[in-house]
Amino acid sequence: MEEVRIGPKASPRATHRKDRSFASASSPRFSARDERFMRRALTLARRALGSTSPNPMVGAVITRGGRVLGEGYHHAAGRPHAEIEALRDAARRGRPSVAGATLYVTLEPCCTQGLTPPCVDAVLRAGIAKVFVAAVDPNPSHSGRGLDQLSRAGVKVAVGLLAPESMRLNEAFNHWIVERTPFVTVKAAMTLDGKIATATGESQWITGEKARASSMRLRGEVDAILVGVNTVLLDNPRLSFRSGSSRRGAARRRGAPLRRVVLDSSARTPADARVLEPAAGHETIIVTTRSAPAARVKRLAARATVWRSPGRSGRVSLSWLMNKLGREGVTHLLVEGGGEVNASFLLEGRAHRVALFYAPKILGGATAKRGVGGKGARDLGDAIRLGDPEWRRVGKDLFVTARINADSPECENGRDVRSEGQDAAG
């Protein structure tokens, strides 16, 4: 893993050479013990969920003769990487020498100087004899270089052990590091007939307490939350993250601030809106347009950061906004509606995952607020395809998350991953 420096979009140059000497995902066959240690490394990596941005989550385990010598994970950007934490843990356990040992790491070790020294150098100095890597670094500028250096130095390298799990863990980072735009998750809480509010705008509360707590935890895993101004006018939300709902939250909010983004083309956000209230570890960004009244913009600028989007339609340019958020280091954006904003991201192809909570209720009514508005698909062939859905029970409610527009047919098969009463995240 390379320490991330925010800059222009990475060059898509080819970096995976066919003549590499290290093993591929299909060779050799991994043993049950290898899988067990890599799963442990993945478990360690997940401990930092929401705290490493703009870096990926990485875990590492060092073993010899089937016994763990040391283990660790990357806690936050600028802090030691997982490999270094594992080496230090081995020393704390009274095993300062790990020569001849095996390293299991969920992402390719870095080989260049960033905010921290190269991990490849530390691995070589420690005398590690074999390295199992779950996933190759997705950064096109670095991909495979660390593996090459290890292999040329005589270290046995095997790649691909539990690669899908590693890639899923860092799907937001993997997208951002290549595209330099945020990975976008659209989240909504709806009735079974797809309504997020009554015709009069009442929406509190459609889902139960456990679902709302699970929804709050999702906020602790992202860099920014986005809503439209109509949500601000109707619900007056704080869009805050309360760390008490997640054991990971306190660490996350001590890092980069949680950005609260409001799409407000005409600068209609009221001066007393809760989203403008100061909140520890939070930053509010009002995205308006160049045609918004100057007096309103000035009033908002006294309470929040104001970005003025270009464009002639009188609407915020999502393309411009995604590029700007990406440059600001936002790797994962959580879109929380309403229906028209959700539709803009979904129907324009700017969303990558959905996170939907369904309550066992039916509102009905042609004018009740829908979870996804817009013009919709004209025929079934234009419907948005969801891949690899995961269904979970959250108290009395149902939670589903899925990737958008998955290409592989086998990804359409869903699975139930939690039982009644268990939370959807954490």
| Sign of the alpha-carbon dihedral angle for 107, 76, 305, 355 | positive
Which H or E element spans position 325? helix 318-327
Contact call for residues 243 and 281 (beta carbons, < 8 A) = no
Q: For residues 10 and 8, what is the distance between their CA atoms, to the nearest angstrom?
A: 6
Between β-strands 67-73 and 59-64, what pairing exists: parallel, antiparallel or unpaired? antiparallel
Q: For residues 184 and 115, what is the distance between their CA atoms, to the nearest angstrom?
A: 27
State the CB neighbour count (10 A cutoff) for residue 15: 16
Look-up of token digits 């879109």: 335
Q: For residues 378 and 34, what is the distance between their CA atoms, to the nearest angstrom?
A: 49
Tell me the catalytic residues: 83
Write phi, then psi, for 106 (nearest 5 degrees): -80, -15
Distance of CA 308 to the CA centre of its chain: 26
Q: Tell me the three-class secondary structure of 194-238, residue by residue.
A: CEEECCCCCCCCCCCHHHHHHHHHHHCCCCEEEEEHHHHHHHCCC
Quick one: which of 77, 158, 150 has its CA closest to 111? 150
Q: For residues 316 and 263, what is the distance between their CA atoms, to the nearest angstrom?
A: 7
State the CB neighbour count (10 A cutoff) for residue 213: 19
Write phi, then psi, for 324 (nearest 5 degrees): -70, -45
State the CB neighbour count (10 A cutoff) for residue 36: 13
Q: For residues 269 and 298, what is the distance between their CA atoms, to the nearest angstrom?
A: 12
Radius of gyration in angstroms for the set of CA atoms belonging to the chain, rounded to a whole number = 23
